Amino acid sequence: MGQRSSTMSDFTADATVDAGWPSSAAWAEALDAARHIAIGYLITLPEHPVSRHASPADMAPRFADPLPAVGCAPEEAVGEWLRRAEPGIVRSSGPRYFGFVTGGSTPAALAGDWLASALDQNAGSWLMSPAAAQTELTVVRWLLELFSLPASWSGALTSGATMANLCGLAAGRQWAAHRLGFDAARDGLGGNPAIPVIASAEIHQSALKALAILGLGRDALRIIPAHDGVIDLDAFDRALLACEGPAIVVANAGEVNTGAFDPIRAMADRCAAHAPGAWLHVDAAFGLYAALSPRHAPLLDGIDLADSVASDAHKWLNVPYDCGIVFVRDRAPLRESFAGTAAYLDAAAGSETWNAFDYVPEMSRRFRALAAWCALRAAGRQGYEAIVARSLANAAQFAAWVDADPGLELMAPAHLNIVCFRARHPSRAGRGDDALTTAAVEAIQRGGVAYVTGTRWRGAAAIRAAFDNWSTTAADVVALQQAVSDAVAAAIARP
Ligand SMILES: Cc1ncc(COP(=O)(O)O)c(C=O)c1O
């Protein structure tokens, strides 16, 4: 890991460039080194432990050096990073990672993503890159089509569903403020009537973050009880009726623990009937992909009546991090929330053109649309239908196996691609199941064969396995089953 001092061959002989500055010849070597590492990593993904559980104490000493005074060849920097970081790499893009809700990267998506870095387009405005702007417009249009959402909607790519939730809720805030006679983006919320937000107790943490950032406040949320992950519609009715003014409503299309769906059409009908108006935002971070499965698409019934929808491409679309999407029925309140004016930017924007920075919080932006375009172009609708079908078949196979095992208990039906379950101690009549389940999660993670994450559901410790990686096969599901059996057996045997 030592650094060698730079030699003249590393640097350009061009006298107009400062000494110590790499030459353009370094690109090929640096990228070849990265390609070599990347291919080696990708083709051996299934052979390595999914995670090595590196602790801060393991990692920090590997990165303890002060800033190097003297540089090295770019390809050396790349190789050195790998040697230092290797124990901390989690193979979450591999086929046996079932933690959280995590996609991998299809080959086309990954190649597109690499190119996005190489071309280094600023996807903020049309003028900064007509190619990036047009690609993003096309990706949004293709995704609307893929998810059977109205073609008249618009949208933009974000860093993930957290920011997509933020964008949808910002648009809702702006819309509601107008109804109350003020302009939230211009005037702020201080001194103006509060804007109530209604959602079930299973609202995702990221939407709460968005409420905090937007000044609506986490605690302003009117929390409706959920039964088995699904909002109590009667309680929702009462809460909406109690709102004298306009409200923002958040529906879950795919609750993160179990994949349960709120009844979107019924909620949309209630919103439409609320005389002062209600903005319906749907968090469909992964649930939107139900649209690609004829059997599961009814779970999304009524989503076309929503005002905004948040989803993720770095989950089931299997594009690399980071990429989310916000869709809106009417783009005006989104634009009002995020568009600014500045002489140098107005000139840069161009009046006739679409400028992404008017619809999202960031100004300069990564060219995320390129990975998504390549992914969609290479797989087509059929490719994505196949990925979703395979993921759902894997989830169903695993859920059936859990259900048939007397040592395990399904905590909820596998509504979509998440299986939520727990371990049962054979001889303790329910006592100690939490400890056993928690120990099993840890043992599975440490075993390295497969990766799942823990949660709490209905007051009990539980295990979640999410299926949305394009490369996961039925054999990987069998490996997961074996890993679960071994981990539970080991945890039971432990004194
Ligand atoms: C339902 C839901 N909403 C929002 C998010 C946040 O997404 P991201 O991590 O892409 O910001 C997630 C992530 O798992 C999710 O499952």
- Proportion of the chain above pLDDT 70, given as a percent: 93
The CB of 324 under 6 Å from ligand 1? The reply is yes
**Ligand 1: distance of its center to the CA of 26 in Å?**
38
Per-residue model confidence as pLDDT tens digits over 132-189: 999 999 999 999 999 999 999 999 999 999 999 999 999 999 999 999 999 999 999 9
Considering the domain 107-376 in this protein, what is its CATH number?
3.40.640.10
* Helix ranges restricted to H, 93-187: 107-119, 130-146, 161-179, 184-187
Q: For the residues 451-479, what does the mean pLDDT come to?
A: 97
Q: For the residues 370-393, what does the mean pLDDT come to?
A: 98
The CB of 285 under 6 Å from ligand 1? The reply is yes
The CB of 206 under 6 Å from ligand 1? The reply is yes
Query: What DSSP line would sit under 26-53, residue for residue?
Result: HHHHHHHHHHHHHHHHHHTGGGS-S---
The CB of 161 under 6 Å from ligand 1? The reply is yes
d(CA 416, CA 299) in angstroms, rounded, equals 9
pLDDT of residue 10: 47
**Ligand 1: distance of its center to the CA of 246 in Å?**
26
Q: For the residues 39-68, what does the mean pLDDT come to?
A: 96
Q: For the residues 18-26, what does the mean pLDDT come to?
A: 72
Q: For the residues 66-92, what does the mean pLDDT come to?
A: 95
Give, as one character, the DSSP assignment of residue 292: G
The CB of 312 under 6 Å from ligand 1? The reply is yes
| For the CA of 100, the nearest atom of ligand 1 | 14
More confident residue, 17 or 145: 145
d(CA 273, CA 243) in angstroms, rounded, equals 13
Considering the domain delimited by 380-493, tell me its CATH architecture. Alpha-Beta Complex (3.90)
Which has the closest alpha carbon to 110: 455, 468, 299, 378? 378
pLDDT of residue 19: 56
